[in-house]
Structure 1
């Protein structure tokens, strides 16, 4: 089964457990939840909304230069390889099509919020006249560079940002993402924890817009299902000792503990289990749902569960095999499909506009996703470019699913998978 959600442009959302039941996600959740972070400014009426613009038929002769700020170091470094492989595979597929658009990609590190790596990388990329930057993975990192990128008239397109704060950010319609807001992931996670029979919940949470926002939506969903959050303990990026947080949460004796963290889970998890807390009662999220086979003793988190946006790459035919041709060392595929689709959508928007400037790309991104109305459904660059060259509208559906942007640059359709850890500390999709 898969948990699937679709939001209309009015921000109403429904989550569907395919073939079994319907789970509601309220419009209030999607528009009204806030984190401890400062409220972002609302943008003016988006230029991306409205009817589709006409496509000029004819051949193209375009060179599109893109950059990436994906985590080669820092707390999300485990996400860097699959994301960069997704970008590289998309670039290869576009260039192999030989249909009048050539993509040049420049890969740079985003680091995390304990460093200023992302700012230096963005400065370098802007100096090389990129039209779009793919990244960052971390919502906190993106917040440090979004004004720098969009202020330069360049598209910022994240495959993994999930903070709800970006939905109404004043980004000149230049910020887009293929990952859904954490308001949806929190709904799925909180409901899953309750459905598993837990009455009380503790949370250990990274104190940034990602962590506090996801914790809030998880709490709302869990309590709506009849549960009680008995402890929430925060820590800051860069912290290395979590004894106080573990003591605070375990003292409340919760049935389950959710770890809303990045790779700090590598330290927190064995410490929790070492304190006597059952590893099978832990819940993970997209920021830390990782292969721990080389990090933990076998079996310490057997039965633990976690959530991750996106389709199960194991169901995507040869996509995984093709990613491994790009990077034979891959063992994790989180956000690889979202990264691939980000590049594809940017390329198709440039093709539709017959213009590689960031502003032109942004004007066509919603359109090529199918967000402004009907278009020919396409699932690869070749089909999309051929249709656009014929003057037809297109609706790109990719490996991450039907993206279909709303007027805020958010995907209106998303899948949140539920995974469970097995004896060797790897995880398998169960829902």
Structure 2
């Protein structure tokens, strides 16, 4: 297999230039968080998506041998940027489906303003807010990552099981931070835990020392941070360590970033853990890990499995729908509903032949079985990670 194009800048700038003649292209939008608070997470996610596209094109192409092409846009984890990027992808580029955006607020804005009115199916690999489940989306918005309602509650149960029953909670004042924090708080308190302080904070401040002092005033020795490790979450973690406000630190998936390790040093993060979705051990996950690693990707990077699955599923749905955008959502459910012949990551040629023959297929992804419920949500698995030898490693399963 050819090496996946891992030069991120070239991927972004050349995403549309790599296509065959325009009449042969089948386009899907890839609304990534190229800039903004999760920018360092975006390159491996894009690489995973491009791997799925490469496999499609190397195994016969899509529909009548046409090329599948990604149109990359920058949602910047910002509602306005996401709306602009989605508008361009839908109205100018003519995409049939969209993978992304990467952040919850961007998903909500793009869906409400652009994709739902246009009848375009959207699959986000990392938009986790419970608010996405409540969208009036005409059955057009899906995700390959579980809702934060599950993550927040699982994290609460895990901390309590480990003997942490008194915490302070700081959360970023956006759809992601608020949704995760509220799910955590509900479960933690229902099960007897005490939250000594629960406070939102704004992004982009130079100092959070006064916020941290107020959070620490309740006497908890553990601070739970629902933010991004490449943004305000990093600043808050650094200043909490510098000033000795707390002894232990816990983050959600947004905090599982290499940025804190690089900026603060692994030796200073011995009491820091973070929750994150993980692929359930399976043949599909092993197959993806092997191919992605051989192509130069990092299988352990966050959201690479969900990004790959979202893209491969979009291609399968377009194939099943015969390229008719009005039928993509229905097709998406039918290729992953637990019925039919199993399709594993990379098995495009097999899937294409079965679809052509009218045989039902069931995609089993790297991130798990994507049996979408009525809201377009999927079940999933999470783990709690710690920092060891300069990298995140699994510390405990979360249930």
In 2: Cα distance, 1:219 partner to 1:285 partner = 13
CA displacement at 1:185 relative to structure 2: 0.1
Which one of 239, 248, 259 corresponds to residue 271 of structure 1? 239
CA displacement at 1:383 relative to structure 2: 2.7
Which ranges of structure 1 fall in alignment gaps of 5 or more residues?
1-60
Q: Which residue of 2 aligns with 1:293?
A: 261
User: Is 1:104 aligned with 2:69?
Assistant: yes
Q: Size of the alignment, in residue pairs?
A: 363
Q: Which residue of 1 aligns with 2:36?
A: 74
Q: Which residue of 1 aligns with 2:119?
A: 153
In 2: Cα distance, 1:357 partner to 1:141 partner = 25
1:323-348: per-residue Cα shift (whole Å, max 9, x none)? 356566x5961111111111111111
Shifted more, 233-242 versus 144-153: the winner is 233-242
In 2: Cα distance, 1:88 partner to 1:358 partner = 21
Q: Over aligned residues, Cα RMSD in angstroms?
A: 2.3
Shifted more, 317-326 versus 389-398: the winner is 317-326
Q: Which has the higher helix share?
A: 2
Which one of 172, 176, 188 corresponds to residue 142 of structure 2? 176
CA displacement at 1:297 relative to structure 2: 3.0
Is the contact made by 2:266 and 2:388 (CA closer than 8 Å) also made in structure 1?
no
Q: Counterparts of 1:216-255 in structure 2 under 5 Å? A: 216-255=182-221
Is the contact made by 1:160 and 1:335 (CA closer than 8 Å) also made in structure 2?
yes
In 2: Cα distance, 1:298 partner to 1:428 partner = 12
For the residue of structure 1 that corresponds to 2:302, the secondary structure is coil
Q: Which residue of 1 aligns with 2:327?
A: 360
Q: 1:247 to 1:80 in 2, by over 3 A?
A: same
Which one of 113, 120, 123 corresponds to residue 84 of structure 2? 120
In 1: Cα distance, 2:305 partner to 2:350 partner = 18
Q: Which residue of 1 aligns with 2:17?
A: none
1:240-267: per-residue Cα shift (whole Å, max 9, x none)? 4312221111111213211000132211
CA displacement at 1:212 relative to structure 2: 1.2
CA displacement at 1:138 relative to structure 2: 0.7
Q: Which residue of 1 aligns with 2:20?
A: none
In 1: Cα distance, 2:80 partner to 2:221 partner = 39
Is the contact made by 1:234 and 1:245 (CA closer than 8 Å) also made in structure 2?
no
Q: After the TM superposition, which parts of structure 1 deviate over 4 Å for at least 4 consecutive aligned residues?
A: 312-315, 324-328
In 1: Cα distance, 2:394 partner to 2:184 partner = 20
Q: 1:313 to 1:265 in 2, by over 3 A?
A: farther
In 1: Cα distance, 2:168 partner to 2:189 partner = 12
For the residue of structure 2 that corresponds to 1:103, the secondary structure is strand
For the residue of structure 1 that corresponds to 2:215, the secondary structure is helix
Which ranges of structure 2 fall in alignment gaps of 5 or more residues?
1-22
For the residue of structure 1 that corresponds to 2:44, the secondary structure is helix
Which one of 253, 266, 272 corresponds to residue 304 of structure 1? 272
Q: Counterparts of 1:17-166 in structure 2 under 5 Å? A: 63-98=25-60, 100-101=62-63, 102-113=67-78, 116-126=80-90, 127-147=92-112, 148-166=114-132
User: Is 1:323 aligned with 2:292?
Assistant: yes
Q: 1:298 to 1:417 in 2, by over 3 A?
A: closer
Is the contact made by 1:314 and 1:320 (CA closer than 8 Å) also made in structure 2?
no
CA displacement at 1:118 relative to structure 2: 2.1
Q: 1:397 to 1:318 in 2, by over 3 A?
A: closer
Q: 1:100 to 1:162 in 2, by over 3 A?
A: closer
Is the contact made by 2:144 and 2:309 (CA closer than 8 Å) also made in structure 1?
yes
User: Is 1:381 aligned with 2:360?
Assistant: no
